Amino acid sequence: AAGIMAGKKGLIMGVANERSIAWGITQALKEQGADLAFTYQGDALKKRVEPLAQSIGSDIVLPCDVTDQASIDAVFDTLEEKWGKIDFVLHGIAYSDKSELKGRYVDCSRENFLQTLDISCFSFTAVAKRAAAMMNEGGSMLTLTYYGAERVIPHYNVMGVAKAALEASVRYLAEDLGKDGIRVNAMSAGPMKTLAASGIGDFRYILKWNELNSPLRRNTTMEDVGGSGLYLLSPLSSGVTGETHHVDSGFHTVGMKAVDAPDI
């Protein structure tokens, strides 16, 4: 295949359906000639992810529940067998109990705090360790985060705490792996209507707020995350690591509701 990703092999984790942010990035990578493998969580999603993978000519589709180290290990053992090396990894995975994505952060349970941090933060570190061991010629890793890590967003709660930890882990991973030519970055996407987002309280209001108050006066699209994801996972961003890159129509730069923005 032609393109800037020709000859490059990468693992995509976190596709649930065609609305997944990971799927938007997948399409941009594929257009540039990348070879891709996918993971899915559980049998229900297998039925969704397999046809999507097939539609772009990928036949490596593996189960992975990141709460289980043996499940992560099995994925990388298989990739080692099939490919021997990899060039990039996309981590688009997060989870918190829906009942705690509304109301007050202070009411978070210990059990859900630990589960949220495990799935939404530690899993990227666990994946990075296995992936780095297969990146003989350097590589790039990307995870997905949200502005709720930096500022308080209604209902984001423990997920905001997990994303703050995730962004900090990106900086530590970038230092650890940089000596081997491996770059580690996060993309902070604006709100997008996906399966995971449907669990967040008043999500439609958050979408509308971002649309009306971001400098570009529109919400983030699949093409937006696709282009920036391709940049961060490809040699185009060869000098960039440890970064949290905002792809949010500029919303994170705004300090106050614009005077001309309508009320909602």
- From CA 257, how far away is CA 245, in angstroms rounded? 22
Burial class (CB in 10 A: 0-12, 13-18, 19+), 128: buried
97 binds ligand NAD (CB under 6 A): no
Pairing mode, if any, of strands 244-247 and 182-189?
parallel
64 binds ligand NAD (CB under 6 A): yes
- From CA 126, how far away is CA 47, in angstroms rounded? 26
| CB contact at 8 A, 103 and 25 | no
162 binds ligand NAD (CB under 6 A): no
Query: What x-and-dash track marks residues 195-234 binding ligand NAD by CB under 6 A?
Result: xxx-------------------------------------
Of 34-53, which residues contact ligand NAD (CB under 6 A)?
41, 45
164 binds ligand NAD (CB under 6 A): no
Alpha carbon of 90 to those of 26, 108, 137, 206: distances in Å?
A: 9, 29, 17, 26
**Is 123 marked as binding a ligand?**
no
Region from 25-33, 52-60, 141-149, 255-263 binding ligand NAD, contact rule CB under 6 A: 141-149
Of 102-131, which residues contact ligand NAD (CB under 6 A)?
119
Would you call 249 helix, strand, or coil by DSSP?
coil
12 binds ligand NAD (CB under 6 A): no
Region from 55-63, 73-81, 193-201, 232-240 binding ligand NAD, contact rule CB under 6 A: 193-201
40 is catalytic: no
Provide the CA 138 distance to its chain's centre, in angstroms: 20
Burial class (CB in 10 A: 0-12, 13-18, 19+), 140: buried
| Between 94 and 158, CB nearer to ligand NAD | 94
161 binds ligand NAD (CB under 6 A): no
| Between 101 and 182, CB nearer to ligand NAD | 101
- From CA 105, how far away is CA 181, in angstroms rounded? 39
Number of residues that bind ligand NAD (CB under 6 A): 27
Task: Report, as residue numbers or ranges, the catalytic residues.
Answer: 146, 156
